[in-house]
Structure 1
Amino acid sequence: MPRKCVTNLPTAPPSGLKKCTISQYFITMNCTVCNQPTDSGICLNCQQQTQHVAVVLANKIRIWERTYTNITKCSFLYYYHVSGLVRGFEYAKDPESAESYTSGSVATGRASLSGQVKGCYNKKKCEDQKEHHGYKIGTWNVRTLNQAGKLENLKMEMQKNEVSVLGVREVRWKGQGEIRSDYTVYYCGGERAERSVAIVVHKSVVRSVVKKIDCNDRIIALKLKAEPVDILIMQVYMPTSEYENDEVEKVYDTTEEILQEDGRGDTNSIILGDWNSTVQMNHIRILLDRMD
């Protein structure tokens, strides 16, 4: 049966009160139509011009739909290219019949693409392609790595779960630097062994690291060279509600500066970490209603 779902726009906190939800930090305080400051989605002036609002919103929706369609097409073509290499590796396991291969149809959920991928079999190339597109990215609040055996335990868990890039927080190390081994640890801390964040990278991914961004003991980022676009991975450790709004805003400002400087253009940005946030009860009710 159809279900009626009521959604509420995020609103700014009353004057003088602290912000306590993510929506109150990321709320867009501008009108969707005229871009003028407002506390609601559409300002009062635009609400009186219903026809103009309808035209502007329809045009924006059309642009978004066209962009989504183009991205979907590119994703299918790229998946088809990678799947063809992997399927070719599976079909050419027999060395005697490894002169060439042809892959048939490739199905991806609701969409199905069919075609042929022909070429000489190269086992090493196929294995490299499969490994390159198969690594995992995760995040973990380790509480501390400033104890004997903690770092080795973290590496064992990464190997066990086949995680290639792991963002960690509450490392509690001093200063900044990196520790190289099978798993390279890029860390950033303060003058005291408090907080601290780090990104742990497997040796197969280290060669793709083109830039390390050390900000403070709450934010660290790495930029990886990848195909078809580069990847920006940022590890964030947000202050709790006990801190003042100024410090919380400072972390958000730093995050936005990194995205503006290194996340532009053909770059996929991935933000990991602990946001130490709460969710309003009406939003919880909406989410549970959708899942029923």
Structure 2
Amino acid sequence: MLATETTTRERATNGAGCEADQATGLMKDGDQSRNDVPSPIVELLTPKRWIRVGCWTVRTLYQTGKLAQVVSELNRYNLTLMGVTEARWTDSGKQKVSFGIVIIWSARTDNDHREGVAVIISKSKANTVLQWKPVNERLLCTSG
């Protein structure tokens, strides 16, 4: 990368500035439009890594086998993160389930199996959640 920058600077000082102007995103003459000049800001706006995010109203995770079904769908669609509504678990917590997948949930505290939300995180990103805070049975905050 350093060699490329040095070459660009030499060409700019030698009078052949068209390549240097294109590298910096400057227009070289009045006949050039904005679309013809590459924008250096585009590189800043492109993602470094892609993740796949999904959401699902599962109606309940309180039944036997429902969590396994949701984890199966997470893997089937190759999702990194899945938001789940109507989980219907109680209290709040964090648990590692099969294959290193992590589930974080927030639900009612009165032992009534209604409402509740959860976030299911794939094994590849399970360690990226640094902290989480259950707000109520409809809201869960995570940060990473």
TM-score by length of 2: 0.65
Q: Does 1:201 align with 2:121?
A: yes
Q: How many residues align?
A: 102
| Counterpart position of 2:72 | 156
CA distance in 2 between partners of 1:222 and 1:80 (Å): 24
Give the 3-state SS of the residue equivalent to 1:207 in structure 2.
Answer: helix
Q: Does 1:143 align with 2:59?
A: yes
| Counterpart residue identity of residue 189, structure 1 | A
Q: How does 1:228-267 map to 2 (within 5 A)?
A: none
Q: Does 1:166 align with 2:93?
A: no
Q: Does 1:177 align with 2:93?
A: yes
Tell me how large the CA RMSD over aligned residues is: 2.0
Relative contact order (C-alpha < 8 Å, sep 6+): which is higher? 2
Residues 152 and 81 of structure 1: CA distance in aligned 2, closer, same or farther (over 3 Å): closer
CA distance in 2 between partners of 1:160 and 1:174 (Å): 27
Q: Does 1:78 align with 2:78?
A: no
CA distance in 2 between partners of 1:207 and 1:183 (Å): 10
Gaps of 5+ in 1: 1-71, 83-132, 225-292
- Residues 139 and 168 of structure 1 are in contact (CA less than 8 Å); yes or no, is this contact kept in structure 2? yes
CA distance in 2 between partners of 1:81 and 1:147 (Å): 38
Of all paired residues, the percent bearing the same amino acid is 24
| Counterpart position of 2:132 | 212
Residues 173 and 77 of structure 1: CA distance in aligned 2, closer, same or farther (over 3 Å): same
Give the 3-state SS of the residue equivalent to 2:130 in structure 1.
Answer: strand
| Counterpart position of 1:275 | none
How far off is 1:204 after superposition? 1.1
Runs (4+) off by over 3 Å:
78-82
CA distance in 1 between partners of 2:118 and 2:127 (Å): 18
CA distance in 1 between partners of 2:127 and 2:58 (Å): 25
Residues 81 and 185 of structure 1: CA distance in aligned 2, closer, same or farther (over 3 Å): closer
How far off is 1:145 after superposition? 0.5
| Counterpart residue identity of residue 146, structure 1 | Y
Residues 220 and 80 of structure 1: CA distance in aligned 2, closer, same or farther (over 3 Å): closer
